[in-house]
Amino acid sequence: MKLTYLSKDGEEGFPGNLKTAVTYSLTDKNEFQIEYESETDKPTIVNLTNHAYWNLAGGGSCLDNVLTIPSTSFTPADAESITTGEISPVKGTPLDFNEPTKIGERIDQLKPRMSGYDHNYILGEDQVMKLAARLEDPRSGRIMEVRTTQPAVQLYTANHLKHTAVCLETQHYPDAIHHPNFPSIVLKPGATLKETTVFSFLAK
């Protein structure tokens, strides 16, 4: 299924006529694939993602789902969830999911104390398909792997919904327009933004 949208010049304060297409596909390999494509006639800001909620247990809390995120660093945010521009290591913090870990195992250790995870993890700027995350429900044996060409993934644990699901949103760095040390999210005329994210489903 292919969906298209034209954001006209000046809509919501953004310059340029931005043409965007998002194609959703199901493959014979038990994959759900999302392909993004955008073009513009003026330099403008583009950062596309998908806000799907997942709970491999099929209900209840997502905190017993086991998560792996192969990332060594993240982009901290302030008390209002605005990215500060820093890049910090995850090692030695409750944000380290390089080894399979239950989502809820260290959630109470987040400082300043938060209602849950809402953090952007850095995956690498090279635009190749790479593993962003692996999610597993130990009881059912259901597994979901997320691969993407995007440079980051946002972990969000449905903090206002009692942790009933988890989001793994592949994206560019949040608020990158205000931080020149972040990869640019400016799309220029004549260029085409293309990104792909694939959710693969397995079972033990």
Instruction: Give yes or no for a contact between 196 and 22, defined as CB atoms under 8 angstroms apart.
Output: no
What's the rounded Cα separation, in Å, for the pair 93 and 167? 20
199 residue type, one letter: F
CB neighbours of residue 203 within 10 Å = 11
DSSP 14-77: --S-EEEEEEEEE-TTSEEEEEEEEE-SS-EE--------B-TTSSS-STTSEEE---SEEE-B
163 is catalytic: no
Catalytic residue (choose from 39, 169, 172, 195): 169
99 is catalytic: no
Instruction: Give yes or no for a contact between 116 and 67, defined as CB atoms under 8 angstroms apart.
Output: no
Catalytic residue (choose from 12, 51, 80, 99): 51
- Pair of tokens at residue 2: 């292919």
Beta bridge partners of 5: 20
Which region holds residue 23: left if phi is over 0, alpha if psi is between -120 and 50, else beta? beta
Triad 143, 97, 124: Cα angle to 5°: 95
Q: Which residues are catalytic?
A: 51, 169
